[in-house]
Amino acid sequence: MSKIGLIIEREFAERVRKKSFIVSTLLTPLFMIAMMVLPSVMMFKGGSSTKNVVVIDNSPEQFVGRKLVSGKTVSFNLLEGNESISNARMMYKNDYGILVIGQNILDNPQDIQLILNDASSMSVEENIQNQIQSILRTERLKRCDLENMDQILADANVRVNSIQTLKNNDQEDDEKMEKTSTTASWLMGLILGMMLYFILIVYGQQVLQSVIDEKQTRVLDVMVTSCTPFELMMGKILGIAVVAALQIVIWAVLIIGASAFVMPLVMGGTDVEAALAAAQNVPDPEVLSMVGKFTNVSYLAGLFLELLLYIVGGFLFYASMYAAIGSAVDTPQDAAQFNGIIMMPVIVAIMVMMSVMNDPNSDLVFWCSMIPFTSPIVMMARIPFGIPTWQVAVSLVVLFISFFLMVWVAARIFRVGVFMHGKKPTWKDLGAWIKMK
């Protein structure tokens, strides 16, 4: 076995045996599986229980209370007559709350009180607010004394809950167009981007700390007698890269397996999307598209394959910098000034990633997905939106070419820094080491 191969085997074996590796490998996919399963189960099994609200309406002829419509979220119980608030508070303690509507509600829409006997619920408050707003709007329009007012209001009362989006995939059959979901794409991109961020930071820091520890204990001084500094650096980087790649593969198998077997089992059938559509609380097209994304095995497999490519390219790119910095310093404290510079592009990538949902094809997002310092995280946030394949290919080619260039630079720092002890290097020193023949 080559010297680099021996170092790779040592670094790999040392890390996969750690409890932290086993725990993070198992917990991360469980978290992602829960994010896929729980929303679907909640939609399929039903939402929260119906809240009972007692209504005291002081408006003329109780015109507001009589038009409140009960539903799955809230059930209204209109009290007839002039019931006092004090008596209602004592008599209806077991109900969710008491809605008090003022006498001059039509001219003063803020004359409303909701006295709660339980913790507040945003969905209930939103339901009440929307209904009262619609009732007051209708009454105010009736003041205009137009003919066929009821018919006009009925025709105008249109609400678009969501838009069903489809991907134009050049298929002749319109029925074969792929359903898409902006929310699902953004959520998937966010998850994948954060996973890549986790890999870059955690395993990159492991490269840095490993080199510093072995330099402090003079283990590196011994190892370079049996191999070249370049072989030592590449062995460490590639060994930890294999650990990161293994973790991604395990995550992919567990998550895809859950998508293929667990989700249909939870839904009580083989077609999750059909099961949701047949449920009592039928989801809107956006929700169905989102569930379809999270339960599409081939789609998830493709995403994880691209994630693996960016993990390898991005990690090797950043790990070479971490290895160079680790060889140049003696303590983690000395590495802090250089580590901050390395972290800046990663932080920028996270900030850009958050704006991908607004426009995944904006100039800023596009160029950040091409520049190797930010491309792994930003491009993984863009990919779920269905960007052109050539952009992904160009981004990967640039990333791997940049990795080879960064390795060349890092190797020149590493070959000098590994023998330097007791001196805190400056940026000028690092530049001199790179130029040194």
Partners of 112 in the beta sheet? 101
Q: Which of 114, 134, 153 finishes a domain?
A: 153
Q: How many helices (H) and strands (E) does the chain have?
A: 17, 6
172: in domain: no
Supply the CATH number for residue 61's domain. Answer: 3.40.190.10
245 and 290 inside one domain: yes
Scanning the structure block, which residue is given the tokens 């599986």?
33
202 and 82 inside one domain: no
Q: Which of 136, 153, 170 finishes a domain?
A: 153
163: in domain: no
22: in domain: yes
237 and 282 inside one domain: yes
Amino acid (1-letter code) at residue 35: M
Has residue 280 got a pLDDT over 50?
no
401 contact partners, CB below 8 Å, separation of at least 6: none
Q: What distance in Å separates the CA atoms of residue 347 and residue 334, rounded to the nearest whole number?
A: 21
Higher pLDDT, 89 or 153: 89
Q: Give per-residue pLDDT as tens, 169-214.
A: 555 555 555 555 566 677 777 777 888 888 888 888 888 888 887 7
Residue 107 buriedness (CB in 10 A; 0-12 / 13-18 / 19+): exposed
Has residue 95 got a pLDDT over 90?
no
336 and 201 inside one domain: yes
106: in domain: yes
87 and 148 inside one domain: yes
240 and 132 inside one domain: no
Length, in residues, of the chain: 437
122: in domain: yes
Mean pLDDT: which of 43-57, 156-170, 256-270 is highest?
Answer: 43-57
167: in domain: no
207 and 347 inside one domain: yes
176: in domain: no
Q: Which two tokens stand for residue 331?
A: 């303590």
- Cβ–Cβ < 8 Å for 414, 233: yes
39 and 110 inside one domain: no
Sheet (strand 51-57) strand order: 74-78, 51-57, 97-101, 112-116
Q: How far is CA 228 from CA 72, 125, 238, 408, 411, in A?
A: 71, 69, 15, 14, 10
19 and 58 inside one domain: no
- Cβ–Cβ < 8 Å for 317, 200: no
311 and 188 inside one domain: yes
224 and 146 inside one domain: no
Number of domains in the chain: 2
Mean pLDDT throughout 341-368? 85
Higher pLDDT, 426 or 175: 426
Owning domain of residue 136: 51-153
Least confident window among 131-135, 170-174, 262-266, 422-426? 170-174
- Cβ–Cβ < 8 Å for 317, 410: no
Residue 261 buriedness (CB in 10 A; 0-12 / 13-18 / 19+): exposed
- Confidence (pTM): 0.64
373 and 266 inside one domain: yes
Give strand ranges (E) for 158-240: 165-167, 178-180
369: in domain: yes
Q: Which of 108, 135, 153 finishes a domain?
A: 153
Q: What distance in Å separates the CA atoms of residue 183 and residue 426, rounded to the nearest whole number?
A: 46
Scanning the structure block, which residue is given the tokens 């077997």?
261
Name the residue among 64, 245, 284, 58 with its Cα closest to residue 163: 284
